[in-house]
Amino acid sequence: MKKRKINYLKLFLLLIFCSACNKDQILITPTNNINSYKGTYEFVNIIEFPKLKLEIQSINKKLSKTNQNNEPFYTINTKEIIKVKDADGYSNYSFFLNVPTANKFTFYNLIIPEDKNGKKAKPYIRKYVCAPEQYPIFKEHNFDLAFFKGKLYKFYLENFNNNLQSKLGNCDPQDFNPSDNISPNNSNGVSSSPNDNDITLGGGSISGSAPVCTTTLHVRRCTAGGNHLPGENCKGEGSDRASITKVTSCSNGKLDVVVLMKNNNNCPTENGDVAFIPTDISHLINPCKNFKKLAQNKKFKDKLKDLLNKTKTDNYETGYIMKLSNNEYNYNIKIGIPEKLGINFTIKNGYKIDGFIHNHYDSNNNKDLSVFSPKDLYSLYLLLKNNNINDHSNFVFAVTTAQNTIYAIHIRNKKDFIRFGDDYLDGLQDGSNDFLPFIYGGIDSVYFHKGIKNINSNTLNEKHFTKMLFFGGGQGDTGLELYKTNTNFNKWSKIKYNPKTKNTSITPCN
């Protein structure tokens, strides 16, 4: 049996950032070793993190400056937050900080670091000042840092509130020119973008298809050995004492670092921070935005209602292929064979679609499955693998069932899902890969007791399905996220497995 043993390893994207001069004005220099980095990016809701909410309240007190109308001078956007977690368990939370006096060339991020035990490190603010002559190019490319050129500053809160333009610390701001380090097609740095045109800003703002965010951690491995926490200097002998380090490559989970040269002011001539713009940035696109639009789309909701009704009246599956035209979906109906599971249809090579929604009918002989089936996942994998999906980050893939459940899958990371599909979905068509049947059938009584079956409760199936997405067969993330809506189709929520509580958590999109 292919991939029979389940070694549930949490494979987190290794996101490494290096400590800089520990002063208040800093340059981020992207590296060109993009392919070796791994990391976990996800949009989170502040209601999921009560301690983070308290931290924001504390920061707001420190940023207590008000205008002449006694209104807050700074605004922290908590509607969208990006959480970044590295392999060591250290996290960063990135927010957009609105400063009304900032011109269009300048924008700010608030960064809150956190260690693996949930202890918050000292928060700080990043200030980006784009060179005016570069701004049109930066804007044209959706505020991708690969096209940013200008100066970067770092402020601690106590300094930021005093004077936004002051020179703080001994390190002057340095020029940021990513063209010396990365190419636009192979870039690896992220930041939240300025509010230009109709852009919703947050920890990762959305600008067309290229959202960006800022997240920063410090390297905890020193060249002379030993580790240190974010914000601390390396402790070692000779040149290692208070050294500035830069990640040059990552292999086998170990960090290879080099000590950078310092000038006479003991400031780095090349800064050690590493900024990231993933080559596959679709997982930074907030899927809730798309689901909110779908919740207002009458035609789409009518199709879901039709599919839901058919689960109780028809003895075959029905589906709709969705194709965008002038920002509206066209629907092409597909019908399965009576008393047979599945829908067979052919898509020509090179033809791309924008969604596929279908149902599971309630058979007279067997109650239908309340979540996506293995063959559903296999179909999604084939569409993606064969390049039949127009935009995987906004692709609509949904199912309705006679159990009154309506689920959708968001492809958060294309590469992770294809890897998962290559290992655990390819072979379902001829029975040569029984990994998912092994899970669904409940043969693994330890991790998936009672499996994912049509005789189970909806709650248990939902829990086991999200658990399967989380562990990904022991090889890491599947690259998929699960969402569900009510029977009015107007409120979507993200469903996620929590390994600590061993249960699911629900985060509303609305």
Tell me the per-residue pLDDT of 346-382, one tens digit each, with 9 for 90 and over: 888 889 999 999 999 987 666 789 999 999 999 999 9
Give all strands of the β-sheet with 406-411 in edge-to-edge order: 328-335, 318-325, 355-360, 396-401, 406-411, 480-485, 492-498, 503-508
Q: What is the mean pLDDT of residues 441-461?
A: 83
Q: Per-residue pLDDT tens for 37-65?
A: 344 656 677 777 777 888 888 887 777 65
The Cα–Cα gap between 249 and 351 comes to 39
Mean per-residue pLDDT, 188-205: 26
Q: Are 333 and 384 in contact (CB under 8 A)?
A: no
Residue of higher predicted confidence among 496 and 446: 496
DSSP string, 355-401: EEEEEE---SSSPPPSS--HHHHHHHHHHHHTT-BS-GGG-EEEEEE
Question: pTM to 2 decimals?
Answer: 0.55
* Nearest in space to 106 (alpha carbons), one of 126, 85, 76: 126
**Which token pair is 134?**
């570069």
Position with higher pLDDT, 123 vs 367: 123
Task: Give me the chain's average pLDDT, please.
Answer: 67
